[in-house]
């Protein structure tokens, strides 16, 4: 009898599951590219609170760059949009009659934007002026990059070795500089030859290369840069098109803080301030007295978050994530960052108990968050005081950022504001859909481990979203 009852209950449960699932889900189930993929979907009307569609919504799925939604939302809730990151100029020793008998320190506190493409180098002139205003005419020591605010895990241990050293997976230090990126300029010659390394932009003192990049008949950039933080040796692998003349391949800077200290040293010398020794860096905090002479403020956090989400900048997301750990003590650690994130969202009523959080940008393959959890976060941010900043930071379908080609020319162009996430066999989206009746949906569509290239998944997801939209508009 018990077996019969259990069988009937199981049957009713299965029928209920199928019944609650929309016919639109069949778009994935009947497609050979997605029918066996790991899929999670959840859509909720934020005005009525009603579920619009759901499919395996509690399955924890690798989010790729959708992870930046969690990071940027957390930063906004804890720091506010108009706050800034600081970088502090300090000196040790004594300053008498213009002579600093000690060292000048650049103390980094996690600003990811120093010397970035957007900011440029103007801040260095401001720093030189501040040093002059402090009465420093000569330095008997050197300029030191203080990296001690973050711990020694400059390379997230959850990231893949094949990513380390590439521009999209740079070392994470408390002092960032020039987007932690260098361009390795090669000479592309005849097919079959090894490309010649010409120079780097910026020039990196002491950089060396183990070069195995071949010039081939490929039409794409298939070259990669590998290397570890602090280590000036970089391995160049892969292939580039032949007979292209000069050809650039992007990699990370081995020690961006040190390069910043070197550049500031040269600026000071050019301004007539002598610096006796060459620049250095410190990764551990020195327990010696220092005097603050200048505090540099970054652009507002809200603007950094907009750049992060619009252009999916791993460096910015990862540095903001790491900086969150300072709320539990210094130096900032990955463990403390995760704890801060979980504590915040637990206090906001968001269930991340099934989530795996290894980084702030989504490069870690172990990251996993359910579609339902993403919608919970999005729903909270929609009601938050930071709603306007967060909402505006997300790319718009068919118009901006990483969603420029998504739903382009369709009925949903301009109506979807979301973050995308892309890796091999994975295409994810999480954000908002503006409906014609004035309602807003929060949604997450996660497609992982499909046997195809990520770009082949985009039209399938577009078809699904359009189908659901047409049924409810």
Greatest extent of the chain over all pairs of C-alpha atoms, in Å: 97
Closest of 88, 115, 93, 123 to residue 276, by C-alpha: 93
What rounded mean pLDDT belongs to the chain? 94
CA distances from 9 to 14, 22, 104, 209, 432 (A): 9, 22, 73, 65, 36
pLDDT, tens only, 66-103 = 999 999 999 999 998 999 999 999 999 999 999 999 99
CATH code 3.50.80.20 region(s) in the chain: 86-151+256-299
SS3 404: coil
The pTM for the full model equals 0.93
Angle at CA 370, nearest 5°, toward 379 and 423?
110
Predicted confidence at residue 22, as pLDDT, reads 78
Name which CATH class applies to 86-151+256-299.
Answer: alpha beta
CATH, domain 23-81+303-472, list 1.20.1070.10, 3.40.710.10, 3.30.479.30, 1.10.287.950: 3.40.710.10
pLDDT, tens only, 112-165 = 999 998 889 999 999 999 999 999 999 999 999 999 999 989 999 999 988 999
CATH code 3.40.710.10 region(s) in the chain: 23-81+303-472
User: pLDDT category, 23, cuts 50, 70, 90?
Assistant: confident
Q: Is the pLDDT of residue 223 over 70?
A: yes
User: pLDDT category, 41, cuts 50, 70, 90?
Assistant: very high
Q: Is the pLDDT of residue 173 over 80?
A: yes
pLDDT, tens only, 264-275 = 999 999 999 999
Predicted confidence at residue 118, as pLDDT, reads 84
Predicted confidence at residue 19, as pLDDT, reads 37
Please compute the mean of the pLDDT values over residues 222-226 and round it to a whole number: 94
């Amino acid at each position: 009898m018990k077996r019969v009852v259990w069988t009937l209950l199981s049957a009713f449960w299965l029928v209920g599951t199928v019944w609650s699932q929309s016919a639109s889900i069949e778009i994935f189930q009947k497609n050979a590219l997605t029918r066996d993929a790991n899929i999670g979907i959840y859509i909720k009307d934020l005005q009525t609170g009603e579920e619009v569609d759901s499919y395996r919504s509690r399955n924890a799925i690798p989010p790729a760059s959708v992870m930046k939604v969690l990071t940027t939302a957390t930063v906004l809730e804890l720091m506010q949009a108009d706050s800034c990151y600081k970088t502090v100029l300090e000196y040790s020793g004594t300053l008498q009659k213009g002579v600093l008998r000690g060292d000048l320190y650049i103390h980094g506190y996690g600003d990811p934007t120093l010397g970035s493409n957007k900011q440029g180098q103007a801040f260095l002139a401001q720093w030189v002026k501040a040093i002059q205003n402090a009465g420093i005419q000569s330095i008997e020591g050197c300029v030191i990059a203080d990296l001690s605010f973050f711990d020694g895990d400059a390379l997230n241990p959850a990231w893949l070795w094949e990513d380390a050293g590439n521009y999209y997976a740079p070392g994470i230090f408390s002092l960032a500089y020039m987007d932690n990126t260098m361009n390795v300029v090669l000479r592309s010659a005849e097919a079959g030859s090894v490309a010649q390394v010409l120079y780097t932009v910026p020039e990196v003192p002491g950089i060396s290369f183990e070069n195995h990049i071949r010039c081939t008949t490929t039409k794409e950039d298939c070259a990669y840069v590998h290397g570890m933080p602090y280590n000036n040796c970089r391995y160049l692998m892969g292939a580039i098109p032949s007979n292209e003349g000069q050809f650039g391949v992007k990699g990370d800077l081995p020690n961006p803080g040190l390069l910043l200290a070197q550049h500031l040293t040269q600026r000071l010398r050019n301004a007539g301030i002598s610096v006796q020794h060459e620049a250095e860096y410190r990764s551990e905090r020195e327990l010696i007295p220092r005097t603050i002479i200048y505090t540099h403020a970054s652009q507002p956090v809200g603007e950094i978050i907009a750049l992060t989400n619009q252009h999916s900048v791993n460096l910015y997301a990862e540095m903001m994530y790491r900086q969150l750990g300072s709320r539990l003590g210094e130096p900032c650690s990955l463990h403390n960052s995760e704890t801060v994130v979980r504590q915040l969202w637990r206090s906001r009523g968001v269930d991340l108990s099934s989530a795996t959080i290894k980084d702030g940008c989504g490069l870690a393959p172990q990251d996993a968050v359910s579609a339902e959890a993403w919608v919970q976060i999005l729903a909270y941010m929609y009601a938050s005081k930071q709603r306007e900043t967060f909402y505006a930071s997300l790319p718009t379908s068919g118009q901006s950022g990483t969603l420029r080609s998504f739903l382009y020319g369709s009925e949903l162009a301009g109506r979807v504001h979301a973050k995308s996430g892309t890796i091999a066999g994975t295409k994810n989206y999480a954000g908002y859909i503006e409906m014609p009746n004035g309602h807003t949906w929060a949604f997450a569509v996660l497609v992982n481990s499909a046997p195809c290239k990520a770009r082949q998944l985009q039209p399938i997801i577009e078809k699904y979203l359009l189908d659901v939209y047409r049924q409810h508009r």
